[in-house]
C-alpha cells in the first residue's frame, strides 16, 4: 500500500468524531452534512444517509497522490450522480463505495485535517496539501 496515503487515512479515522459538521465543496450548491457513525471500516453521514467506506477515503488520497495533484496541478472534482458523467476522481472513490457517489463528502473531511485543499468555485477542484 501507499505509505503516505495510509498514514493520512489512519490519521483521518483517528481524528474524526461523531457530530462533526461539514459542507459539500461547491460554493453555489454546497449542502451541509454530519458524521453520525464511525466504525473501523466506514463512516455514515446524515441527512444524506450515505455510508462511506474506508477504502473510498484511501482511493481518494491515492488517486490524488498517484496523479501528482498538488497546488500547481489541481484535480477537477467532476462529481455526478450519473457514474458515466462523473470525472476520474469521483469514479475512483465511488468504485470503492459500492458505486455510491461519495467524493463530495470525503473531500471536506480530508480538508478539515489539512490533507487537501478545495477550490469551491466552479469548476470545483482539489489538491493535496
Give the model confidence (pLDDT) of 36-64 as tens digits: 999 999 999 999 999 999 999 999 999 99
Cα 25 to Cα 19, 39, 46, 83, 91: the distances in Å are 19, 24, 16, 18, 17
DSSP 8-state code for residue 76: E
Length of the chain measured in residues: 129
Look up the pTM and report it.
0.96
Amino acid at each position: 500500500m501507499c505509505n503516505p496515503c495510509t498514514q493520512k487515512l489512519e490519521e483521518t479515522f483517528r481524528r474524526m468524531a461523531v457530530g462533526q459538521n461539514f459542507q459539500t465543496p461547491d460554493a453555489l450548491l454546497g449542502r451541509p452534512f454530519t458524521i453520525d457513525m464511525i466504525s473501523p471500516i466506514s463512516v455514515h453521514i446524515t441527512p444524506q444517509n450515505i455510508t462511506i467506506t474506508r477504502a473510498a477515503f484511501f482511493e481518494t488520497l491515492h488517486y490524488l497522490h498517484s496523479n501528482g495533484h498538488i497546488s500547481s496541478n489541481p484535480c477537477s472534482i467532476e462529481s455526478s450522480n450519473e457514474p458515466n458523467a462523473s470525472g476520474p476522481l469521483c469514479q475512483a472513490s465511488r468504485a470503492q463505495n459500492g458505486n455510491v457517489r461519495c467524493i463530495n463528502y470525503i473531500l471536506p473531511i480530508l480538508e478539515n485535517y489539512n490533507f487537501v485543499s478545495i477550490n469551491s468555485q466552479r469548476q470545483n477542484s482539489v489538491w493535496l496539501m
